[in-house]
Amino acid sequence: MTTARVLQFSDTHLFADPGGAIRGVRTLASLRACLEHARRRHLPADVVAVTGDLVHDEEAAYALLQAALDGFAAPMLLIPGNHDRPDALRRRFCAPPFQVGGTLEVGSWTVVMLETWFAESANGEGRLGPEGLRGLDTDLARAAGRHVLVCLHHPPVAMETPSLDALGLIDAEAFLTALGRHSNVRAVAWGHAHQSLDLYRGDVRFMCTPATCMQFKPRVEGFVTDDRPPGYRVIDLQEDGGVASEVVWLEGYRP
């Protein structure tokens, strides 16, 4: 059976200063460690998806991201998170192998990259809005007869952590309703929460991917730093619509 491999990295939080850190984790060093681990263990890949909070509010850091991603012989799909600068992101990643947002066909699958960043966000929550929801419907209709993986930044389902859930996808109910109108959606993957989650809603697999830097403890009040190492996700999209996926933790990594 033919399989298309997606490598998902999320919440890289790079700074203009290569030594910049979040809660004691140097984000460029931890991203490089994740990328190198993936190169050694999980190539070849058909798609690299980087799902938001690529930088930590500093657009100069996109140059560091571009350099770090060099060397993957695969299309690289990126979307902004709440800490990103979408205009600067598009200026930097405007030519192949990079693509910001949009869709990509790979094998019997279509990968849909949704943008949930919006300018009026008060505290980092996300939103598709009417235009984004219409675009999703259009993309899913165009992919009729193909299996679909949807990627976004903000969680579209509850993470069971009140502080995180308050900063999720505002119009999650409308998003899930849109998915329900199309029978070809097989999986949804996101980041933002700095932790892992894997569950099914009906026949659709929902997967949260941890950050390439520090993690938050799941199911506790507040933003409590976890002792989990950096991580990323491998998603194997099978020709018949099956999804095999695992989170890869860099066990033993020391910041």
Q: What is the DSSP string of 42-92?
A: S-S-SEEEEES--BSS-GGGHHHHHHHTTT--S-EEEE--TTS-HHHHHHH
Counting Cα atoms < 13 Å in the Cβ hemisphere of 94 gives 7
User: Tens of pLDDT along 53-96?
Assistant: 999 999 999 999 999 999 888 999 999 999 999 999 999 999 99
- On average, the pLDDT of the chain sits at 96
User: Tens of pLDDT along 118-134?
Assistant: 999 989 999 999 999 99
pTM: 0.97
**Strand, helix or coil for residue 169:** strand
Task: Identify the pLDDT of residue 71.
Answer: 84
Task: Identify the pLDDT of residue 2.
Answer: 84
Q: Which of 77-86, 100-109, 157-166, 174-183 has the lowest mean pLDDT?
A: 157-166
What is the band of 254 on the pLDDT scale with cuts at 50, 70, 90?
Answer: confident
- pLDDT over 90, % of the chain: 94
What is the band of 1 on the pLDDT scale with cuts at 50, 70, 90?
Answer: low
What is the band of 204 on the pLDDT scale with cuts at 50, 70, 90?
Answer: very high
CA 234 to chain CA centroid, Å, is 12
Mean pLDDT to the nearest integer, 226-233: 97
CATH topology of domain 3-249: Purple Acid Phosphatase; chain A, domain 2 (3.60.21)
Q: How far apart are CA 108 and CA 241, in angstroms?
A: 8
β-pair type (243-249, 231-238): antiparallel
Domain boundaries, the chain: 3-249
| Residue 233 exposed, middle or buried by CB count within 10 Å (0-12, 13-18, 19+) | buried
Task: Identify the pLDDT of residue 255.
Answer: 77
CA 203 to chain CA centroid, Å, is 21
Contact between 199 and 156 under an 8 Å Cβ cutoff? The reply is: no
Tell me how crowded residue 253 is: count the other CB atoms within 10 A of its CB: 16
Q: Using the predicted structure, report yes or no on whether residue 37 has a pLDDT greater than 70.
A: yes
In the sheet where 197-201 sits, what is the strand order? 102-106, 109-113, 147-151, 185-190, 204-208, 197-201
β-pair type (185-190, 204-208): parallel
